[in-house]
Structure 1
Amino acid sequence: KYGYLWVQCEKCYELNYQKVFSSQLHICEHCGHYLKMSSSDRIELSIDPGTWDPMDEDMISMDPIKFHSDGNLYRDQIDSFQRKTGLTEAVQTGIGQLNGIPVAIGVMDFHFMGGSMGTVVGEKITRLLECATTRSLPVIVVCASGGARMQEGSLSLMQMAKVSSALYNYQYNNIINQIKSDSMYQSLPLLQPVE
């Protein structure tokens, strides 16, 4: 009944008051464990207030291979995650300002199907990179992903090549966050060699 007021720590199972928890950047006040942060919280934390201009919010997955598992349709899974998170997909992209400097931002959300990369996630990130290139903006992409989305088969695997191509001319550093899959770790965050 009052779940929106409290957040339970995944490590020590103690309850944290939501308002205090948010002000402490999602760190458990009892044990110091870092808990998952939603893409909306991360955007709010990262950019200047009132500067967020989202892109491609109307893009949604259309079940390209008619996937179903144990009688559950992929479309129904997407609908369920949309209701639960309030997001249309596992990434939010847009333009904001960081200390008054315009910047293109993409933030993946692990709460939406484990932040998995399907066709829409790949397309949204690619469009963000193309927009940033056209407007000569710096780019921040926060990767919080469980890898390729199996419900979209090989189409989801092709997204990495598309994103890699759009990233080709960028010099960048990586923000690696909540990586749950070796496949994702070996792809998007590590395209830039560490020097």
Structure 2
Amino acid sequence: MGEIGGHCVALAALDFRFIGGSMGSVVGEKVARTVELAASEDLPLVIVSASGGARMFEGIYSLMQLAKTSVALSRFNDMRRPYISVLTDPTFGGVTASFATAADVVIAEPGARVGFAGARVIEQTTKERLPEGFQTAEFQRAHGMVDRIVHRLALKGDLERALGFLS
């Protein structure tokens, strides 16, 4: 738990500097428990993501975290409490597919790379050239996947306003 501009929140963050911010069994459990804490304490939820995706060397245990976090968020959503997701560079893979883009409000930093699979993987699989900037926050915003683009220096104030409006 923490506080943003006088609003008590449940907060989780994934740090790319630690194993690429990947979601394995421990990270998935901690995210799910943070969501459950937000539900039990009737708090807004804020999750900041910087991730390369699922921690593949954990195998199926890592992939199970997509379902675990999604189920926790589904239950939280039933409570009609706000969930704000902040996407930083990069946010990819299972994190994007499960909880990072399932928020009421999705905020991304300028230039953040956001997607499921990397551009090269997609191009090699589809044998098609992708649009320029396909996986940038700006492209995602233009196509309805991101609600706002906010520079990190302005993020605190933006979160305060959003929490004030949504709480």
TM-score normalised by the chain length of structure 1: 0.47
Partner of 2:69: 163
Higher relative contact order (CA 8 A, sep 6+): 2
Which structure: larger Rg? 1
Q: Which residue pairs with 1:117 in the alignment? A: 23
Unaligned runs of 5+ in 1: 1-94
2:100 is paired with a residue whose SS is helix
1:95-145 deviation line (CA, Å, top 9, x unaligned): 111122211100100000000000000000111111110010111000111
1:144 aligns to what?
50
Count the aligned residue pairs: 101
User: Does the alignment pair 1:134 with 2:40?
Assistant: yes
Aligned counterparts of 2:88 and 2:4: Cα–Cα separation in 1: 20
Query: Structure 1 residues 145, 163: CA separation in 2 closer, same or farther (over 3 Å shift)?
Result: same
Does the residue aligned with 2:83 lie in a helix, a strand or coil? coil
8 Å contact kept, 1:104–1:128: yes
Identify if the C-alpha distance between structure 1 residues 172 and 132 changes in structure 2 by more than 3 Å, giving closer, same or farther: closer
Contact 2:53 2:94 in 1 (8 A): yes
Higher helix share: 2
Tell me, in whole angstroms, the C-alpha distance in 1 between the residues paired with 2:5 and 2:60.
40
Q: In the superposition, relative to structure 1, how do residues 191 and 111 fare at CA in structure 2: closer, same or farther (>3 Å)?
A: same
Percent identity between the two aligned chains: 43
Tell me which residue corresponds to 1:174: 85
CA root-mean-square deviation: 2.0
